[in-house]
Homo-oligomer: A and B are copies of this chain.
Amino acid sequence: MAKRAPSRRIGIADVAKQAGVSHATVSRVMNGNFSVAADIAERVRQAAADLKYQPNSVGRSLALGKTDTIGVVVPDLENPTFQAILRGVSRAAARDGYRVLIADSSEVSSEEAILAGEARRRCDGVILCAPRMADADLRDLAPALHPLVLINRSTPVEDTPCLSADYGQGIQDLAAHLVARGHRRLVFLAGPEPSASNRLRVRGLELFMEQHPAVELQTVPGGVSFAAGHEAVDAILASGATGVLAFNDLVAMGLLSALHERGISVPGQLSVTGFDDIPFARYTTPTLTTAAVPITELGEMAWQRMSAVLRGDEDVVLGTVIQPEVILRGSTGPAPS
């Protein structure tokens, strides 16, 4: 039982008593239900105002069987990509009167399943960004999470909308750009091995290499962060490549910074591309050539899908692949002769 504090929060019962009507009538008035006489409605509204009545949303949720809240599970709130997704979801959901509960797994992949389940119990649905979760785990988890929307997974799961960017195509476009500028020795500064979006990039590059036998491609292990890019500078230089395809903008920026420290000219000696087009990409020096993923919009779309499922729409669009767009800026140029 809740503690009976001396002054409990005022509830619908208090308003009812004050107005001399029943709970039911108060509820009807508060919900704009019309079948209530004007004078009584007014009296109720007056009473509610006098008492500063605020409906308790937990009670409401229990009765209605919905919380008007959705959970967003992200692997890392520090990563601009996930911040953007969160922002997109949050704003779109807010327009429809929904709120967002955040669950940040802090890159602890094993936590994701638990977090997602926990979030689902509190919310009407879950939007899941778990790039590194194993496919099998995801399949096991999905039914319990429904309504569920997936972001950046290539695994199709029954009845589950999935939005993703075509990283494979994007990285090919970037590679093609470098090759068109005369680069023949490229290096891929990779992301985390188990990440779905990294696998897509790798696969895209494999395709690219099949079509460009004259080009040489190496791979250097990297990561997702500034630090990863910064630390990889020696390996990158050792590769002898003239063009670097970094896993994402963060990594590219870390690398750019390290190259600057070494006095390596970009793009004079080395061309560098990022991926994502985070807001900062246009403010680096040199500005960063990258493949833009409209990530905030992707968050908004995730909400659209969720909203459709919540409304019980038939035929919700399940698979959606967004095409990244190559943005040419200052960090790429012709290969040094």
Interface residues of A (CB under 8 A from B): 1-3, 52, 54-59, 61-65, 67, 69, 77-78, 83, 86-87, 90-91, 94, 99-104, 106, 117-119, 121-122, 144, 226, 253-254, 256-257, 260, 279-280, 282-285
* Chain B nearest Cβ from A36, distance in angstroms: 19
Closest 9 CB pairs of A and B: A285-B285, A2-B65, A77-B87, A257-B283, A58-B61, A57-B121, A58-B62, A57-B122, A253-B283
- Closest B residue to A3 using CB positions: B65
Report chain B residues within 8 Å CB of A61.
58
Report chain B residues within 8 Å CB of A101.
69, 99-102
- The answer on a CB contact under 8 Å between B99 and A122 is yes
- The answer on a CB contact under 8 Å between B65 and A283 is no
- The answer on a CB contact under 8 Å between A52 and B144 is yes
Report chain B residues within 8 Å CB of A100.
101-102
- The answer on a CB contact under 8 Å between A55 and B284 is no
Partner of A104, one of B94, B254, B260: B94
CA distance A116 to B109 in the complex (A): 32
* Chain B nearest Cβ from A107, distance in angstroms: 11
* Chain B nearest Cβ from A311, distance in angstroms: 13
Report chain B residues within 8 Å CB of A58.
58, 61-62, 67, 122
- The answer on a CB contact under 8 Å between A90 and B62 is no
Report chain B residues within 8 Å CB of A55.
121
Report chain B residues within 8 Å CB of A67.
58
CA distance A292 to B1 in the complex (A): 47
Q: Point out which of A117, A121, A122, A285 has the most chain B C-beta atoms below 10 A from its C-beta.
A: A122
- The answer on a CB contact under 8 Å between B62 and A91 is no
Report chain B residues within 8 Å CB of A65.
2-3
Report chain B residues within 8 Å CB of A87.
77-78, 104
- The answer on a CB contact under 8 Å between A104 and B121 is no
CA distance A282 to B256 in the complex (A): 12
* Chain B nearest Cβ from A71, distance in angstroms: 8
Report chain B residues within 8 Å CB of A90.
77, 102, 104
* Given A78-B87, A104-B91, A122-B69, also A144-B54 (CB < 8 A): yes
CA distance A119 to B101 in the complex (A): 11
- The answer on a CB contact under 8 Å between A283 and B99 is no
* Chain B nearest Cβ from A24, distance in angstroms: 13
- Closest B residue to A76 using CB positions: B87
- The answer on a CB contact under 8 Å between B279 and A54 is no
- The answer on a CB contact under 8 Å between A102 and B99 is yes
